[in-house]
Structure 1
Amino acid sequence: MIRIENISKQNSHRLLFIETSAALNKGEKIGLVGPNGAGKTTLFRMITGEELPDEGQVSVEKGVTIGYFDQDVGEMSGHSAVAEVMNGAGPVSEVAAELQELEAAMSDPDRMDEMEAIIERYGEVQARYEELDGYGLEGRAREVLAGLSFSQEMMDGDVGRLSGGWKMRVALARILLMRPDVMLLDEPSNHLDIESLIWLEGFLKTYDGALLMTSHDREFMNRIVTKIIEIDGGSLNSYSGDYAFYERQREQNEKQQQAQFERQQAMLAKEIKFIERFKARASHAAQVQSRVKKLDKIDRIEPPRRRQVVAFDFLPAPRSGEDVVSLKGVDKAYGNRVIYEGLDFMVRRRERWCIMGVNGAGKSTLLKLVTGTTEPDKGVVNIGASVKLGYFAQHAMDVLNGESTVLGWLEESFPKAGQAPLRALAGCFGFSGDDVEKRCRVLSGGEKARLVMAAMLFDPPNLLVLDEPTNHLDIDTKAMLIKALSTYEGTMLFVSHDRHFLSALSNRVLELTPDGIHQYGGGYTEYVERTGQEAPGVRG
């Protein structure tokens, strides 16, 4: 369906692709992977024709429809969310627009002399609309929006009043409703809660078109894709299997290449030693010449390219008392909406609670009550002895000084630390090389979040309260964070939609449901085994 043939592409001074090829065939579900800046978005844009390769070509089979979802959703306002989704549904929305125009023309007295032609055309367009299941379009649009966690009120409200994250969901729903022959999805899992992620997995599994997608959520990728295309040093390398298979295969390939490189280096060293030793002796001239010629003909094996994965040893957290947080008889409501009534909850040292619950269940409210960001209407929240609290939430970025550079802000925060460990810390969270000289005011939301997280873990508290800490983190940075937190000696209370993060780090689950609040000993993996669901009310 789509062929990428011998393409080369340079952005500014950076070579993204060098004479490389790949293909997307009918029905294939492919994960596109590679480090930040490798050219994933550029490849999408070349497939849609928004950019052209410098050399080679990208060809799309005639008549193939492409739906492209990216992070730049554009301006949305003046329509309801459901209308916005229907308007982008491809051919059927164009037919619907013509149907509306013809209906208006039929009731226009000034066009009576054209009425026969209008009615004839209306019959043709109506038949085409029925063929495309146009009358079921609104129902399908609402079904997709419900899957992405929209309430009926949000579906019918002005899309312009929604936050950026919800507008992203509207843009994604447009592509899903369109059901094109090929879907290009650039980070569709960003901004989705766990319930929406599980629904989207089910949708994409049953989608019979071809799919090429990027995602920072390895679990999501593992469940959908059956092939990986990796961008590595300008090449497109294909692996048949899911993301876990790709990781194992890449590691195995690197080991084999390293072994071949070392064997060849040993052989070359031996040959060079012989040549150096005997080159001055006439008796060995023929042998020396023969070996020199042999060396000239050998194809040199390159060592595997080492991926820059920065590890960082975070300082141990100071010890707290055994009782870390206690909530007794807590009530909390927003207007008429009751969130908690008589809540009793205790967190003890070294417990790692993940908070589960649908949108609006009170997950973030609980974290705010624990951190003192919001007060209970009734009851008490007590923080235990020697507890040093660290709270990561989306508003945490407000602490940044816009005029400081990344490195400068870290130096202001930790004046005694010295540059070397602060540069290493910044590198762990994706600020390498010149990135540390960026001013905080020009950082994206994701970069700001990473910087605040880095500072929190440099001087770790013994109670970490984290609200969606993995948003905006790529797979490698998440892996580093999970590794760092798995050896963390303190207590954790967190909300996350990343199932790999939940499984790796939780040892307790607090589930918030309309039927009440349930506590589970054991982490997220045990919760899934015991309940048969991956989120409250949602089976995987």
Structure 2
Amino acid sequence: MAVSPLLQLSGVSLTFGGEPVFDDLSLNVQPGDRVALVGRNGSGKSTLLKVMAGLVEADKGDRVVPLGTSVGYMEQDPDLSGYTTLGEFAAANLDPSEMYRVERAGEGLKFDPDRLVETASGGERRRAALARLMAEEPELMLLDEPTNHLDIEAIGWLEDELKATRRAFVLISHDRRFLTELTRATLWIDRGQVRRQEKGFAEFEVWRDKAWEDEDMQRHKLDRKIKAEARWAVEGISARRTRNQGRVRALRDLRQERSSQIRRQGPAAMALSSGPKSGKKVIEAKGISHAFGDKQIVRNLDLTIQRGDRIAFVGPNGVGKTTLINILMGEITPDEGSVKLGTNLLPAIFDQSRAQLDGDVSLWDSLAGDKEIGVSGKADQVMVRGEPRHVVGYLKDFLFDERQVRAPVRSLSGGEKARLLLAKIMARESNILVLDEPTNDLDVETLDLLQELLDDYDGTVMLISHDRDFLDRVASTTVAMEGRGQAVVYAGGWSDYQAQKQPAADAKVTEKAKAKKEASRQAPTAEKAPLLSFTEKHRLEELPAVIDRLGAEIAKLEVFMADPDLFHKEPLKFKKATEALVERQTALSAAEEEWMELEEKAENG
């Protein structure tokens, strides 16, 4: 028997500002689907997700969700008005007995449920919205850039949760590795049409390139046919003095078909110029230490950055990555130590908050009105790496349509704002780029181009990013900020850092074990079981907390299910609570058994 889809769109069309977004779109999402939703910035990915969520009504077409099916949507800009704390917002649709789900998601996503809404940052609000969705456990989850404002550790937690879930989800993300690890099907929005492939994101680019190749071939065949028919029409009239009306109509139809085809937009024409070379030694930091109150940002760090280096700064949110870069750039004086900047530095800075963009001005004025790149006396031009360019032509290089140039910046999508900021930065000559989370919201194609530009850039790059794939592609050195002021320098990108980090940690444990063995060498001992490995030791330390948490969750579930009328009043909630109880009881038994085995091994060792 066929399984009913969780959600179905049929013949959906939508226009925005008079421009078509979708035309006669149809799709469905089945139970267990894990779908990547991809397409260029501005193609309508977020809008489609809102249509699927029922938050945007299409001009025509149908949205069908079976009665009783729950659909959850993670908003990029959640409305928290009416709530006092982030936890209150995240638990709004849960029973009190289910609050443990919010607490668990809060731990994984690193947000404080007790944080007051009025003092919460944009990133904290987004994490609360994501925690709310994960805690509610709807049958279909619609996730719009869930990794934005998460650090790499939290992304790992979310990735593990989504791998383990049986729920269906549709996912928009700029994070290649995240998409590759999680998805088994792909929806591709291209020029108002949606295509589906029953393969995950890992196969997307091969599929896309083949589709474009076939499209170019069909267009070329059509052009040749039109040319041949047009030649026949001209020659035939002079030879026969009469028209074959059928072939003339066929030629007109071919021309109409050709003109109706929407040409594929080419890649962005972004370019970087490093301008005059900086000195060979760009930054030299010696013994720098800095703290904010009781929080130690960095302690006794030595770091030398040479011209051409690509330095990535990684670490948990709030550890002080941006602060360290500001110290290295001379914006903040360290408490201890010294920072010496090289000669002839021309910095360009991409800030995570997009503070350089004024949402109330138009795209045109954002460029032409910029004091650093505007051309005096010419309101329609912008100075691009020393050469005047018309502002519309330059915006087209960054894939903006001519009809957008007078629109306010606030009307842009997140990816379009990122492209506009890149346009401002790349207009200047620079020899040191500071990029703070540049990958947020950018589409995959623009990310690929940005990576290529950075590869060819003659200057120096300092980079903060949570995108593991981007870090691997760009970084030549990684500064890992591991908390409590510890900053460790590793060669290579994210994967290189991970590969070097574990042996270093294991080596410390080995040295301690050798010292202990040497101290007790003279004493007669019975045959010993092997000592705990670093991973086992860490696991033994964290298991009591895991056991306590599982026990608390089980107790809450048992209290919730103690209501004798629950099964009759709320059969769906009873079913979910029973499944959750069995799952946590199984996990608790496994955790207790694992703890006993490791504890016994530690005692015998």
Corresponding residue for residue 143 of structure 1: 104
Would you say 1:335 and 2:305 are equivalent positions? Answer: no
Let me know the Cα RMSD of the aligned residues: 3.3
Corresponding residue for residue 526 of structure 2: none
User: Which AA in structure 1 matches 2:110?
Assistant: S
CA distance in 1, matches of 2:189, 2:84: 39
Task: Return closer, same or farther for 1:285/1:461 CA change in 2, 3 Å cut-off.
Answer: closer
The secondary structure found in structure 2 opposite 1:256 is: helix
Deviations for 1:321-355, whole angstroms, at most 9, x for unmatched residues?
22111111112111122222221111111111101
1:472, distance to aligned residue in structure 2 (A)? 4.1
The secondary structure found in structure 2 opposite 1:519 is: strand
The secondary structure found in structure 2 opposite 1:74 is: coil
User: Which AA in structure 1 matches 2:164?
Assistant: T
CA distance in 2, matches of 1:269, 1:324: 59
Corresponding residue for residue 19 of structure 2: 14
Corresponding residue for residue 216 of structure 2: 258
Indicate if the aligned counterparts of 1:84 and 1:170 stay in contact, CA closer than 8 A.
yes
User: Which AA in structure 1 matches 2:75?
Assistant: D
CA distance in 1, matches of 2:359, 2:178: 35
The secondary structure found in structure 2 opposite 1:437 is: coil
Corresponding residue for residue 24 of structure 1: 29
CA distance in 1, matches of 2:350, 2:388: 24
Indicate if the aligned counterparts of 1:88 and 1:175 stay in contact, CA closer than 8 A.
no
The secondary structure found in structure 2 opposite 1:44 is: helix
Indicate if the aligned counterparts of 1:18 and 1:234 stay in contact, CA closer than 8 A.
yes
CA distance in 1, matches of 2:372, 2:301: 40
> In terms of mean alpha carbon deviation, does 433-442 or 260-269 score higher?
433-442
CA distance in 2, matches of 1:491, 1:343: 20
Task: Return closer, same or farther for 1:239/1:447 CA change in 2, 3 Å cut-off.
Answer: closer
1:389-538 aligned at under 5 Å gives the runs 389-394=347-352, 397=355, 405-410=365-370, 413-415=373-375, 417=384, 420=389, 422-429=391-398, 431-438=400-407, 450-514=419-483, 516-531=486-501
Corresponding residue for residue 33 of structure 1: 38
Would you say 1:199 and 2:157 are equivalent positions? Answer: yes
Corresponding residue for residue 212 of structure 1: 170
Deviations for 1:238-279, whole angstroms, at most 9, x for unmatched residues?
122223422221211121222233234324433443453344
Indicate if the aligned counterparts of 1:326 and 1:382 stay in contact, CA closer than 8 A.
yes
Indicate if the aligned counterparts of 2:360 and 2:410 stay in contact, CA closer than 8 A.
yes
Task: Return closer, same or farther for 1:412/1:372 CA change in 2, 3 Å cut-off.
Answer: closer
Deviations for 1:143-199, whole angstroms, at most 9, x for unmatched residues?
21111123xxx3333343211210111011001001011111222222222222222
Deviations for 1:501-535, whole angstroms, at most 9, x for unmatched residues?
212211111112248432222233433444479xx
Corresponding residue for residue 77 of structure 2: 72
Indicate if the aligned counterparts of 2:348 and 2:428 stay in contact, CA closer than 8 A.
no
Would you say 1:312 and 2:317 are equivalent positions? Answer: no
User: Which AA in structure 1 matches 2:458?
Assistant: E
- Listed as ranges, the gaps of 5+ residues in structure 1 are 97-133
After TM superposition, the score normalised by the length of structure 2 is: 0.72
> In terms of mean alpha carbon deviation, does 7-16 or 327-336 score higher?
7-16
Between the two proteins, the alignment pairs up a number of residues equal to 486
The match for 2:322 among 354, 364, 368 is: 364
Task: Return closer, same or farther for 1:18/1:471 CA change in 2, 3 Å cut-off.
Answer: closer
Indicate if the aligned counterparts of 1:503 and 1:524 stay in contact, CA closer than 8 A.
yes
CA distance in 1, matches of 2:462, 2:25: 46
Corresponding residue for residue 185 of structure 1: 143
- Listed as ranges, the gaps of 5+ residues in structure 2 are 1-5, 376-382, 504-533, 536-605
CA distance in 2, matches of 1:312, 1:207: 40
The secondary structure found in structure 1 opposite 2:14 is: strand
1:67, distance to aligned residue in structure 2 (A)? 0.8
1:276-295 aligned at under 5 Å gives the runs 276-281=234-239
Indicate if the aligned counterparts of 2:312 and 2:479 stay in contact, CA closer than 8 A.
yes
1:451, distance to aligned residue in structure 2 (A)? 3.9
User: Which AA in structure 2 matches 1:156?
Assistant: D
Q: Give the fraction of aligned pairs with identical amino acids, expressed as a percent.
A: 30
